[in-house]
Structure formats: C-alpha cells, structure tokens
Amino acid sequence: MNTKIQTALISVSDKRDITVFAKALSDRGVKIISTGGTAKVIKDAGIDVVSVDSVTGFPEMMNGRVKTLHPKIHGALLGLRDNDEHVGAMKEHGIEAIDLVCVNLYPFEDTVAKDDCRFEDAIENIDIGGPSMVRSASKNHKFVTIVTNPSDYQRVIAQMDEYDGATTLEFREELAAAAFSLTASYDAAISKYLNTKLGNEYPQKVSIAMSKVKDLRYGENPHQSGAFYSLPDSSEVNIGSAKFLEGGTTDISFNNLLDANAAFELVKEFEEPAAVVVKHLNPCGCSVDSDITKAYEKAYLGDVVSAFGGIIALNRNVDLELATVIMESYARFGKANGALGFFAEVIIAPEFTSDALEAIRTMKAWGQRVRLIETGPIDRNNLDDKEYDVRCIVGGMLLQKRDLSGWNPDELTYPTKLKPTDEQLKDLRIAWLTAKHVKSNTITLVKDGRLIGVGAGQMNRVESGLIAFKNAGDKSKGSSMGSDAFFPFPDNIVNAAKAGVACIVQPGGSKKDDEVIAAADEAGIAMVFTGKRHFKH
C-alpha cells in the first residue's frame, strides 16, 4: 500500500542537507511543520514552514524540553487512517494527519565522549521528544514514513517521484526497522553511561549497541553467513575504528577480521617499534627493534612456514623501505629458511605512505588482493577499560572486563637463586606479552628480541612446551620462555632444561611452586613470577 506524503514534521539535531530535503518536499507540495532551531534553518532558506506551537496551541517551554509531547502531534502520528474510530477522534479534536517524520536525536554519544563532559551536560542531551516521535511514527509505519538518517533523504524523494508523491509499504517497513534500531542503540548508550557512573559493572540488563560496517562474503565457513559490526562509542584505536584502504581486489573476510584483531591487539602492547605475524588467531612471529623494518624481518623469521597467508600488524607507519621488505619476504629471507612461498592476507599499520601503497599493489601479484588497514596513531594511554570482553555461547553471552594487564616490573618476584640479566628481562617481557595473546595452554620462546617458538592451545602444558621446543630447534638454547599460567608440576622445567632454556616467566601460585623452583635451581634456570595469569580460551 502506497501512502501519499502531504504533511511532514521535521525536527533534527544533525542539520546536514536538511534544507535540501525540506525544499524538495516543499517543491512537491508537502506542508512542513518544524520546531525551534530546525524551523529557523528551514525558514532562513526561504522555505515555508509551520511552527509546532501553532499546531498544538502550546508554546515550546522548559528550554525546549516540552514541545512535541502533545496529542495533536502524537495523535497525528499514531492515528490509523483505515480505522473509523481513529479518524473520528482526529476530526473531533482537530488533529491533522502527519505523513512523514524526519527526526534525529540529541547527540548524547558525542556529548559524553568529550573529556570535559559534565553529568548535567549528559542528562540534558538525553532526547525525550525525538525518540517518542520516532517510535510513534515507526509503530504506525503502515501510514507514516519515518526518516532518521540524512542518507535516506534522496531515497525518500526518489520514492515520491516514482509513486506520485507516495512511498511504498515495503520502503516504510525498512525505515521503521532502522528507526527502532536507532532508538534501541540510543537507549543502550544512555544505559551504559549511567551504569558506568554508578559503578555498576554488570547491571541486570545489558544492551550492546553496534553499527553495521559491512556484509561479509560468509562467516568462518562458506555455509555460514556473516557481517561486521563496530562499537561506535569505543574511544580506543582498534580494528573497528580503522580505515579499510581502497585498491584491494578481494574483500576482507570474517576470519581475516578475527586474525587482524588478534595481531593488532598484540602489537599494541609495545611502545617501541614492533611487528607481529598471526595465523589462525595465534602469533607465529613477534619482534621488537629500534627499527621497524628490522622488527618485521625478525618477526617473519620466527616461523616462515606459518607466515604464509598470515596477518601482519605493525605499530609504526609503513614507508617504501618497509613495504619493499614485506613484499620481498620470501626472496630475501623465506626461501633460505624453508618457506615454500609467501603472501599476506592483511597488513595493518597506523599509516601507509603513498609510495608504500604503490609498492604493495604492484611489486607482487598478491599485492593486488592484500587487505590494507590503516588504524591511525596508537595511544597506549587511551585503552578502553570500560568495554566488555564478550564471548558467545548458545543461548547466552559471557561478559568480563578486558585483560589489560601487561608487563609490570614492580610486581615481579624472583624466586630462584639465579636472577635474569637485564637482556634476559627484555626477552622475558616479549615472551610474557606474547603468551597473553596465544590460546591456552601456552608456551612461548623468545631470543634476541624475537619470538622463535610457540606451543598453543594444547590440552596440557607439557605438550605445548614440546611443540614450542620443536619449532625453535637449536635456537631454543639460551632462550627465554613464557607460560600463560603456572606450572602444576616440574615436568615443563625439566623439558625446558633439556632444550637449553635460560630463563622462564610464569604467574606462580601453584601448590607445587617449591618443587618447580627447586627444579629450576637444579637446572640453573632463572625464573620470574608475575602474579598474574593470562588464560585465553
């Protein structure tokens, strides 16, 4: 059923393109009703407009808090045009039907995102009349067109031109669904803010509002559908807030995004130049260096076989030199170290220079399809500790605070007779931070500032250690070992000694810590306790 638009109510905070839309409506014979500042903007553009107070017979009052909350507005929106009782009530009380509502809401999220936002400012920017009109119009979408996004203005006009001044029911249903999503996310933002202010970490009801970024080709597997959503109110630099650069011939996938997030969250741990290579959610390469290009070289050499088809994350800008080294990874380092080839699915960095982009896209055939993600500068002082870490189970969700604990030298204890050297502590730090981002059970091996072996996700820690030692080979001699959780028995220490490990970092806290420490002392291994565990399931 098509409904002709004869009267429209416009009341917007975001006034982008509103005069263009209002003029297009007016030119098509639509009567425009408006409020306060919106009415002034429309009138100043030379467009006829009727004030809301002239419709309601009541002035806007209480600093604009009360203006549209009136039967002549909501009756005009909610009245069913095919219901004789409704139509009779509208005639009896002089209510003129409103066929289109164009509303967007007070900028609550933008307001509370400001560092100097006062509680009073936040409360004042909670819209009441706007959501009420949106909900009324959306409920009665059988007859009313609800427009909440400037991107829909031209679509509305196109519908009117195609359908003799009317919109289709299918189009109105689409806009109503979008409108209810808007009010739901708006209320979720308010709820989050107020619960945070109250210190209520886990309220009885939790709403998580997300905005769709894009549809994905499929989910983890081709028979699953998928889409990418972002949290628009996150203040931290992340994959959700990043820019996906143009030029790639293949769109990013569900698995690419999971791996990209894993890689970027690890590289964010380091203030010095760092590079990470991730494959299937686990790092197979990680290194730091005073030079970002050297850091990448060392990260790639951590496991040249697993790096094939991996995700590269860097915490420094990609210039021509670094881009060239990445594109020539196989020829420069991989072939001589057992790789059969190399390409990257995704490269993530704060920024890419123009000549670096040109090199990536033209040097190798795979450069045409690699996805490039530009995050902007990384600020380690701006981590969002209010955001939930959310895990889904069938029929529910598990919420927890994010694991933002890193390397805290003041909290370290040294239980063994032998203490690590300053150089060993540097490698232990990398081993510990890397272990934090590897699936449990985890063993990591680091030497000379780079990851050389990883044992991930095994059902017991001994097996993880054996995998890490196998991957590292002879390089494990003199290496630094990290474990995401304590050792329940000395068996891992015995195996580490056989592999030539020089020092170990682990949380401590096992009932058999004394036996573990004694085994380390017997093997001449220095051990560090962090007092923190980093399980990652």
Is 52's pLDDT higher than 70? yes
Residue predicted with more confidence, 63 or 296: 296
Confidence at 382, pLDDT banded by 50, 70, 90: confident
Average pLDDT, the chain: 93
Neighbours of 66 (CB within 10 A): 15
Neighbours of 456 (CB within 10 A): 23
Q: Please tell me which residue in 280, 335, 386, 426 is annotated as part of the active site.
A: 280
DSSP string, 398-466: EEEE-------GGG-B--SSS---HHHHHHHHHHHHHHHTSPSSEEEEEETTEEEEEEES-SSHHHHHH
Q: What is the mean pLDDT of residues 231-244?
A: 86
Pairwise CA distance, residues 18 & 23, whole Å: 8
Of residues 18, 199, 186, 191, the one with CA closest to residue 110: 186
- Could you tell me the two tokens for 261? 């997030």
pLDDT for position 67: 67
Q: Residues for the chain: how many in total?
A: 537
Pairwise CA distance, residues 384 & 404, whole Å: 9
Residue with tokens 């959306």, as numbered in its chain: 138
Q: Is the Cβ–Cβ distance between 339 and 308 less than 8 Å?
A: yes
Confidence at 46, pLDDT banded by 50, 70, 90: very high
Pairwise CA distance, residues 417 & 465, whole Å: 23
| Secondary structure of residue 193 in the 3-state scheme | helix
Is 66's pLDDT higher than 70? no
| Cβ partners under 8 Å of residue 65, min gap 6 | 128, 129
Confidence at 512, pLDDT banded by 50, 70, 90: very high
Share of the chain above pLDDT 90, in %: 79
Q: Is the Cβ–Cβ distance between 188 and 207 less than 8 Å?
A: yes
Confidence at 246, pLDDT banded by 50, 70, 90: confident
**pLDDT, tens digit, for every residue of 277-310?**
999 999 999 999 999 999 999 999 999 999 999 9
Residue predicted with more confidence, 508 or 232: 508
Is 485's pLDDT higher than 90? yes
Indicate if 532 belongs to the active site: no
pLDDT for position 166: 95
Separation in Å, CA 211 to CA 178, 185, 229, 240: 11, 9, 5, 10
Q: What is the mean pLDDT of residues 183-211?
A: 90
Q: Is the Cβ–Cβ distance between 131 and 38 less than 8 Å?
A: no
Amino acid sitting at position 102: C
- Could you tell me the two tokens for 214? 């894009």
- Could you tell me the two tokens for 113? 């995102």
pLDDT for position 95: 87
Q: Give the end-to-end CA distance of the chain in Å, rounded to a whole number.
A: 52
Q: Is the Cβ–Cβ distance between 298 and 289 less than 8 Å?
A: yes
Q: Per mean pLDDT, which range of 72-81, 157-166, 274-283, 349-358 is the poorest?
A: 72-81
Element holding 132 (H helix, E strand): helix 129-139
Output the CA torsion sign for 362, 363, 369, 375.
negative
Q: Please tell me which residue in 139, 335, 426, 512 is annotated as part of the active site.
A: 139
Is 161's pLDDT higher than 80? yes
**pLDDT, tens digit, for every residue of 99-157?**
999 999 998 988 988 889 999 999 999 988 889 999 999 999 999 999 999 999 999 99
Pairwise CA distance, residues 213 & 77, whole Å: 32
Element holding 267 (H helix, E strand): helix 254-267
Indicate if 280 belongs to the active site: yes
Is 233's pLDDT higher than 80? no
Is 68's pLDDT higher than 80? no
Q: What is the mean pLDDT of residues 189-217?
A: 90
Pairwise CA distance, residues 283 & 451, whole Å: 9
Amino acid sitting at position 445: L
Pairwise CA distance, residues 223 & 265, whole Å: 29
pLDDT for position 248: 78
Strands 344-349 and 371-374: parallel
- Expressed in percent and rounded to 5, the helix, strand and coil fractions of the chain are 40, 20, 40
| Cβ partners under 8 Å of residue 161, min gap 6 | none
Domains belonging to the chain, first-starting first, are: 3-198 (3.40.50.1380), 244-374 (3.40.140.20), 409-529 (3.40.140.20)
Pairwise CA distance, residues 421 & 80, whole Å: 79
Is 357's pLDDT higher than 80? yes
Residue with tokens 């769709």, as numbered in its chain: 212
